[in-house]
């Protein structure tokens, strides 16, 4: 783990990341020493930093540290955390913000192949997402909603929980974005009130026409196919939500194929 370029496994108690969740994070797939979609992750960090009034950080420093860390990483997960650093009085931020930049490598999770061929099983969470346009879309460090939702089930045969917001709209999984197709049209929830705008979600938008809209569990249950995605799991079809079964559809398979090609291209570069 690197904290502002130094090898450490601790952080100051007074760091505002610890005190208030005052920061952002990224979770990046590393395949054969190559961080996948790195530029997209760094651009999101930069964009969300602006929304949190964090100083612009030096992308070149981050890139240098990341390539150092990933040199012999093989297949791994790279996590980046940026916080507002220490200082300030209470919620008031310090006049000179010196952000904390934390990079860490973790083993790549061993998702079974069946996630991709047969699809995953999901449930509907009771924990709902709060409505907050100010924070919506960002991958910030305030993640109690996801933790409470993920704490709802222990059954390892259930792989993901789907979260609604307090208006009853379907938003996303606890750790994934969610898409569904109906009559060959692809839909996902708009993230203007809550949710995280994932990097892979953005990639899907580049590859296909997607309709962002408000929808409910009933709409989901009438879908022709459903998939979830994030930067680590990639794209997984959903075979079951509660008692309802779904087929892994052509759009899901096509996107999985395209994503694999894209990753191989990035690794080969």
Cβ 22 to a copy of itself, closest distance in Å? 5
Q: CA angle, 103 as apex, 99 and 105 as ends, to 5°?
A: 165
| DSSP-based three-state secondary structure for 29 | strand
Is 140 or 263 the residue whose CB approaches a copy of itself more closely?
Answer: 140
- Interaction site with a copy of itself (CB under 8 A): 1, 3, 8-22, 25, 52-53, 81, 84, 89-93, 102, 104, 109, 127-135, 140-151, 166, 174-175, 194
Is 10 or 243 the residue whose CB approaches a copy of itself more closely?
Answer: 10
Is 128 or 201 the residue whose CB approaches a copy of itself more closely?
Answer: 128
Cβ 253 to a copy of itself, closest distance in Å? 26
Cβ 154 to a copy of itself, closest distance in Å? 8
Is 148 or 210 the residue whose CB approaches a copy of itself more closely?
Answer: 148
| DSSP-based three-state secondary structure for 89 | strand
In order, the DSSP letters of 182-210 are ETTEEEEE--SSS-B--HHHHHHHHHS-E
Q: Cβ distance 88 to 94 under 8 Å?
A: yes
Is 68 or 167 the residue whose CB approaches a copy of itself more closely?
Answer: 167
Cβ 155 to a copy of itself, closest distance in Å? 12
H/E element holding 46?
Answer: helix 38-51
Lateral strand order in the sheet of 23-31: 6-7, 2-3, 100-107, 76-83, 23-31, 34-35
Cβ 181 to a copy of itself, closest distance in Å? 27
H/E element holding 24?
Answer: strand 23-31
| DSSP-based three-state secondary structure for 48 | helix
């Amino acid at each position: 783990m690197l904290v502002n370029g130094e090898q450490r496994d601790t952080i100051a108690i007074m760091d505002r990341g610890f005190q208030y969740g005052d920061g952002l994070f990224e979770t990046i797939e590393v395949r054969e020493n190559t961080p996948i979609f790195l530029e997209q992750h760094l651009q999101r960090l930069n964009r969300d930093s602006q929304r949190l009034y964090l100083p612009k950080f030096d992308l070149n420093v981050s890139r240098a540290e990341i390539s150092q860390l990933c040199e012999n990483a093989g297949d791994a997960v790279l996590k980046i955390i940026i916080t507002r650093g220490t200082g300030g009085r209470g919620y008031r931020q310090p006049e000179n913000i010196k952000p904390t930049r934390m990079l860490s490598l973790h083993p790549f999770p061993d998702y079974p192949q069946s996630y991709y061929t047969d699809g995953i099983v999901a449930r509907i969470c009771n924990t709902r997402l709060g409505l907050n346009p100010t924070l919506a879309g960002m991958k910030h460090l305030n993640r109690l909603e996801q933790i409470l939702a993920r704490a709802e089930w222990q059954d390892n045969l259930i792989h993901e929980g789907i979260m609604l917001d307090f208006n009853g709209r379907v938003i996303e999984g606890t750790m994934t974005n969610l898409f569904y197709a109906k009559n060959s049209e692809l839909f996902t929830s708009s993230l203007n009130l809550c949710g995280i705008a994932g990097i892979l979600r953005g990639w899907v938008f580049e590859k296909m026409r997607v309709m962002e809209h408000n929808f409910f569990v009933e709409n989901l249950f009438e879908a022709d196919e459903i998939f979830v995605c994030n930067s680590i799991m990639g794209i997984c079809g959903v075979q079951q939500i509660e008692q309802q079964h779904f087929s892994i559809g052509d759009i899901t398979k096509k996107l999985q194929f395209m994503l694999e090609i894209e990753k191989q291209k990035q690794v080969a570069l």
